[in-house]
Structure 1
Amino acid sequence: MSSDDAWIGDAQPYLAARRHGEKDAWSSEAAARGRKGSQKLLAVEEVEGPSAVRDFLQTPPGELIVVRRRLIMLDGSPIELADSYYPSAVARGTALAAKGKIRGGAITLLASLGFTPEDEPLEDVAPAIATPAQCEALQLQPGTPVLVLTRFTRSTASEPMEVSVMTMTRHLQYRQRKEAS
Structure 2
Amino acid sequence: MMLLDEQPVELTNSYYPVAIARGTRLSEHKKIRGGATTLLAELGHRIRHVEEDVSARLATSDEQRLLGLDAPEIVLVLTRTSKADDGTPVEVSVMTMLAANRHLAYQLTIGGDDAAAE
Question: Does the C-alpha gap of structure 1 residues 82 and 101 become closer, same or farther in structure 2, counting only changes over 3 Å?
Answer: closer
> Which residue of 82, 99, 104 maps to 1:173?
104
Distance apart, 1:175 and its partner CA: 5.6
> Which residue of 8, 11, 25 maps to 1:81?
11
Residue identity opposite 1:113 in structure 2: L
Distance apart, 1:76 and its partner CA: 1.3
Gaps of 5+ in 1: 1-70
Please give the secondary structure, in 2, of the residue aligned with 1:172.
coil
Question: Does the C-alpha gap of structure 1 residues 150 and 137 become closer, same or farther in structure 2, counting only changes over 3 Å?
Answer: same
> Which residue of 123, 133, 137 maps to 2:62?
133
Residue identity opposite 1:144 in structure 2: E
Residue 151 (str. 1) matches residue 93 (str. 2): no
Residue 103 (str. 1) matches residue 30 (str. 2): no
Within 5 A, what are the aligned runs for 1:63-82?
Answer: 71-82=1-12
1:101 & 1:175 partners in 2: Cα distance?
A: 22
Match of 2:111 in 1: none
Corresponding pairs, count: 106
Distance apart, 1:109 and its partner CA: 1.0
Match of 2:71 in 1: 142
Residue identity opposite 1:138 in structure 2: L
Gaps of 5+ in 2: 109-118
1:107 & 1:155 partners in 2: Cα distance?
A: 11
Distance apart, 1:125 and its partner CA: 0.5
TM-score, structure 2 as length reference: 0.80
Match of 2:42 in 1: 112
TM-score, structure 1 as length reference: 0.54
Residue identity opposite 1:129 in structure 2: L
1:144 & 1:105 partners in 2: Cα distance?
A: 30
